[in-house]
Structures are given as C-alpha cells and as structure tokens.
Chain A
Amino acid sequence: MDSIVPLLDGFGTAMMGWNLFYCLLGVTIGMLVGILPGLGPTTGIALLLPITFSMEAIPAIIMLSGIYYGAMYGGTVTSVLINTPGEAASVTTCFDGYPMARQGRAGTALGVAGIGSFIGGTVSMFGIVFIGPPLAKMALSFGPPEFFALMVVGLVMVVGLMGKSMLRGMISMLIGLSLSLVGMDPLTGNLRFTFGVPNLVEGLDFVVISMGLFGISEVMLGMEQTVFSGKLPKVGKLLPNRDEWAPTMKAIARGSGLGFLIGLIPGSNSVIPAILSYSIEKKLAKDPSRFGKGAIEGVAGPETANNSYCGGALIPLFTIGIPSSPTIAVLFGAFIMHGLTPGPMLFENNANFVWAVIASMFIGNVMLLIMNLPMASLWGKVATIPSTLMYPGIAIISVVGAYCTGGRVWDIWVMIIFGVIGYIMKKIDIPMAPIVLTFVLGKMIENSLVQSLIYFYGSLWGFLDRPIACTLLVLALLIFAGSAIAGIKNKRGMLANDVE
C-alpha cells in the first residue's frame, strides 16, 4: 500500500501537459512501429532515442516506453488484417486472427486483442506498482556476486531461448561481450582492443550499434521483401458474441498472469508468453481443432500475454538494473543517456521519475484502448502503406541519430558497418538479441566478476558461500544443460525465433 501515494504523485506528473503529449506521441509512434512490418519496438526506440537528447528525462522515457508497449498493440493489426505480424510477439495472432478476418470477424479479433492488451497491460502495471518497490529494497542487499550470478542467468536464458541453435546464440553473446570490452578498462584505465584508434578509446556506442543492427539491417532486409498489395478485409463488429465472452475473459486472465510472470525472468522475450499462452489455450479448449481456424481464445490469450509481459519485463530494469530483452536494453541505454542509473537505487533517488513513468503507462494503455477499438480500420489502412516509402526516412533518421550520439562522423561509419553485419547475421541465422544484451551488460558483468573475485581472494569457489548467488548459478547451469539437451533433441521449436 506504500506505493499508492507515490503512484498518485506520479499521475500528477504524468498528466502535466507536455508529459501527456509525449505519452500520446509515444504510443502513437509505437502503434505505427508495431503495424509496419519489419519495424519492431527495438528499432523504433533506437531510431528515436537521439530525438530525446535535448529532452528532460521524464518526458523522454515516457515517450520511449510508450513506443515499447504501443508496438505490442500495433503488431496485432497487421497480423489480423494481412496475416503479417508487425512485430515478433504477434506471430501467434496470425494463427487465429487472420482466419477470423477471413470469416468477416476482423473487428472482433481486433476488439478482443485490444481489450486483452489493455487488461494485460494494466494488470502488469499493478504488478510493477506492488512488486517493484519491495523487490528494489531486496536488491539493495545484493552484492557483486549476486549481480554477477543474476546476469549469468539472464545471458544463459538469452542464449538458450533465442536463435535456431544454442551455438549461434553463444556466438552472438560472445561477440556482444567482446565489443563491450573495447576501450578503457573501467577498473585499471588500461586500453583494450583500441588498435591505436582514438575514437575507440571511449568504446563503441550502444545506440549506434543498435541503430545499425536493428535499423539499417532491417531496411536492407525489408527491401528484399514483397509488399502487401491485396484488399483489406472489412473490420465489422468489434465485440465478441455473448457466448464467447466467458472463454475470452478466461484466456485474458490466464494470459495476464503468464505474461507478467515470464516478464520477470531476465533473458526472456515477448514471443515466449505469446506462444505459451497459445499452447495453453489450445490444451484447455474443449475442441482444440478450432485453433488455427479462428478460435477467439487463440487471439485473446497471446495478445494479453505479450502486453502483460511488457510491464513484467520492466521490473528487472527498474529494480535490479538488468535489461531482460533487446528492447529493454535500448531503454536501459536511454536511462543512462539521461543520467539515470537503473537499479535498486532508482526508487530511492529518482522516485518522482519512476512513478511518473509507471503512471504514464496506465494512461498510455487507456489511450491505446481508445485508439484501437474505434479506429481499428484506420490503423489497418496504415498497414497498406508500402514500407519502401519509409526506408529513406529510416535511413536519414539513423544517420542523424548516429551522428548526434557523439557529434562525429565516425559513428555513422560504425552504424553502416553494423548494419551490414546485422544483415549478414540474419541471413545466416545468428540471433542479434544476445549481442545487444551482452553489449549493454558487458561492463557490469566484468565489474561484478572482478569485484567478486577480489572479495573471494581470487577463488571462484567463493560463489558457493553466497546462497543467492550459488542458487542462481546452479539455475543457470540447469537452464544451460536443458537448452543444450533440447538442442540435441532438436526440440527448440517455435521459441527458436530471433525476436524484437
């Protein structure tokens, strides 16, 4: 209950004129990012991050967060209307959303997805409100060994769950870690892997790498894809039939819980709750054969789960300072850029900021519900805009963004190189998410490891004397072994998609 008063204060800040405007702007851009195939929330946030350079922290993060959860709503529209997921988490919505649209029930699919997304998003916001502060207090007792172990769990999860093979995930992870080591060693001041290049002394910039990997490479891949040129189905009635309400609401309730819980796990991604929710709904259904042919629960559950995941995934960022997905990693970068340190002290030192951002998410969810239900067909039309028209815009904003991060042309070259690397990586099926996550966490991992080893007089066995760290490392080992076995048995299945 201690959270209610600061939350109300947060509403006061979030409702102030410009903050409200940036919230609306963020969710609107998020919708667009979600609707336009090829542009995910990670790309959207990375591209717009430089725009926030001159903004204050609160409106900047309110806007960027709006893009994050707004994209989850937007992705549904294209999944239902043109059978093309706007972002990865909406893949499952195609399974039943598109068949519903073909049966003349596109409006119902979009309506149910909108309601589910709203409920899932709101439930997870309440989760942040009530779980966030106590978790942050608990995290204050964490030392370097616990943080190191926690990050290892996150990395193992990322490697284990993303990409078609664990080997490829490990490659991506190690590349990201090695890139994070470029520049000055924070503990000793020694230069590493700079090869005499002055621009490398400060290391590589996270925003620049993200824009290359997610922005430029996406444009290159997008240029190879065919553009939707069909006719949009009619949207029609938005609400389900009377007999469909009960199974829909049950699916929404299950999706809310599932998405939120999975969001808490570092290294997870928004595709996992959506797929799990779909599987659960199919297993619980009286007639599973309806799935894939327009089952309403097949839309309601996954759509709720991926929105609920968004709120849950912010908890590790706010409370322990560990990003759990590539999109959150870019948000992490935004926090740092605005002089904020995500982690347990955030609730103590920047309470006004945290609560304003959380309150803005409640407001943003309401805005998205209003934008989605009566305006579904309008968003559908946006989906038919040829993405080729946007590519010049993305390219020019990327170069502006890259230049602005350090005010030097060097960063534009770095972005171009990483754009080409990202393009090749996608072609040979090496997931990019682990690169970004490990790049962000690299310095923290090294610092916590080195500090732990100094504390343990150089012995790795010291981790076994710390119950939390030891438990987490054992958990990491189990996840690693489980993923390896699943890989050998070739059972990575649908989780094996590069996401976000």
Chain B
Amino acid sequence: MIKNAGVWAGAILLAYSALLFQQSLLLDYYNPYGPGPGFLPLWLSALLLIVALLYILDSIKAEVVKLVDLLPHDDARVDIALMLTGLCLFALLVESIGFVLAGTQLIFLMTLRKFKWYYALPTAASIAVVLLVVFQKLLGVSLPVNDFGW
C-alpha cells in the first residue's frame, strides 16, 4: 500500500479537503439574506472528503498505479528535471536579470541535451531576443526587463 500512488494521491486529496472543510467552518454558513460565503464551500469540502476516502478505497481495490510509475522514464527524467529547473530559475531571476537572460537560460537548459552547447546557447539567446521584440514591440505586451531594458 505504501507504494500505491493512488493511495498517496487520495491521502493528499483528503488532507486538502480537510483543510478546506476546516476553513469553511470559519465562514458564515448563513447570513440574514440567505446562504453565506461558507455555504457552498462547506458542502463542497464535505463532498470532497467523502470522494477522497472512496478514491483511497478504490485505489486499494482496483489496478494499482505504483509510486515509481509517476516518475518520468529514465531518458525523459533528465529532460523534465532540466525544464522544471529552467522554469523555476526563470521565475526566481526574471525580475532582476530581465527577460532575455532568464529566457535564454530556460531555452538553453531545454535544448542542452539535443544540441552542442555552442549551438544551443546562441540559438536560445536569439529566440529570447526575438520573443522580447515580438511581445514588447509588435504585440504591445510588457515583459519583465532589467535596467538595460532587456
């Protein structure tokens, strides 16, 4: 059971619904005009609690998805890790280093295993610059930039 992904997903869902239920109890269930802000959340979270329990039971009985199956396959594991790293770095850095550098590192990390680095890096930088120009200048959508404007 410890290796059953469905049980773990159900347990997380159960915790999520319990949290919502507890929070719903803090809201007014009814007010002088009718149902209050806690009315639907309370029913919804209660229903979600029941459904989460049923899902755990179903996961135990039905075909089991193992926890290890949730992980990407060997070859894709590095690709996905690189992409997620790139995305997180982008979110962390974009407001300080600007879109072009943050975008370049994201594209570079995602293309690193497909091309030699000296092809991947200029390509990544070019794509980031083109996107900045297209969004900022042509489409009028403002992107986060550094003090130099890129």
Contacts and interface: CB of A to CB of B under 8 A. Distances in A.
A453 B27 CA distance: 18
B107 A167 contact: no
Interface in B11-65: 13, 16-17, 20, 23, 27-28, 30-31, 33-41, 44-45, 47-48, 51-52, 54-55, 58, 65
Given A188-B31, A193-B41, A454-B34, A219 B23 contact: no
B94 interface: yes
A311 B114 CA distance: 41
A140 B13 CA distance: 39
Nearest to A190: B37
Contacts of A25: none
Contact of A428 (B16, B38, B39, B65): B65
A185 B40 CA distance: 11
B23 to A, nearest CB: 6
A187 B27 CA distance: 13
Given A193-B20, A403-B94, A409-B91, A450 B34 contact: yes
A470 B133 CA distance: 55
Contact of B143 (A219, A223, A400): A400
Contacts of A165: 58
Given A171-B13, A395-B83, A428-B9, A178 B110 contact: no
Interface residues of A, number: 56
Contacts of B33: 454
A50 interface: yes
B44 A54 contact: no
A177 B16 CA distance: 13
B140 interface: yes
B46 to A, nearest CB: 10
A190 B111 CA distance: 46
Interface stretch (A125-133, A202-210, A385-393): A385-393
Contact of A224 (B28, B72, B144): B72
Given A409-B91, A412-B90, A427-B70, A174 B44 contact: yes
Contacts of A54: 139-141
Q: Which of B51, B65, B124 has the most CB of A within 10 A?
A: B51
Interface in B89-115: 90-91, 94-95, 99, 103, 106-107, 110-111, 114
Nearest to B134: A51
A430 B12 CA distance: 14
A450 B39 contact: yes
Contact of A177 (B44, B79, B114): B44
A407 interface: yes
A315 B22 CA distance: 40
A413 interface: yes
Contacts of A170: 51
A419 B90 CA distance: 15
A188 B36 contact: yes
Interface in A148-196: 165, 167-168, 170-171, 174-175, 177-178, 181, 185, 187-188, 190, 192-193
Contacts of A168: 55
B114 A424 contact: no
Contact of A395 (B40, B106, B139): B106
A292 B6 CA distance: 35
A51 B141 contact: yes
B80 interface: yes
A9 interface: no
A50 B134 CA distance: 12
A374 interface: no
A404 interface: yes
Contacts of B28: 188, 190
A220 B80 contact: yes
Contacts of A412: 87, 90-91, 94
Nearest to B95: A409
Nearest to A51: B139
A416 B83 CA distance: 10
Given A395-B86, A446-B40, A450-B39, A178 B48 contact: yes
Nearest to B70: A427
Given A167-B58, A181-B41, A193-B41, A174 B31 contact: no
Contact of B83 (A51, A219, A430): A219
A487 B124 CA distance: 49
A345 interface: no
A416 B84 contact: yes
Which 7 A-B residue pairings sit nearest by Cβ, starting from the closest? A454-B34, A54-B140, A185-B37, A392-B110, A190-B37, A224-B76, A412-B91
15 contacts: A51-B141, A174-B48, A177-B44, A181-B44, A190-B28, A192-B23, A193-B23, A223-B80, A224-B76, A392-B106, A395-B110, A399-B103, A400-B99, A428-B6, A450-B34
Given A167-B58, A223-B72, 12 more contacts: A51-B139, A51-B141, A177-B44, A178-B45, A190-B37, A192-B23, A392-B127, A399-B91, A400-B143, A416-B87, A430-B9, A450-B34
Interface of B: 5-6, 9, 13, 16-17, 20, 23, 27-28, 30-31, 33-41, 44-45, 47-48, 51-52, 54-55, 58, 65, 69-70, 72-73, 76, 79-80, 83-84, 86-88, 90-91, 94-95, 99, 103, 106-107, 110-111, 114, 124, 127-128, 131, 135, 139-144
Interface of A: 50-51, 53-55, 165, 167-168, 170-171, 174-175, 177-178, 181, 185, 187-188, 190, 192-193, 216, 219-220, 223-224, 388-389, 391-393, 395-397, 399-400, 403-404, 407, 409, 412-413, 416, 419-420, 424, 427-430, 446, 449-450, 453-454, 458
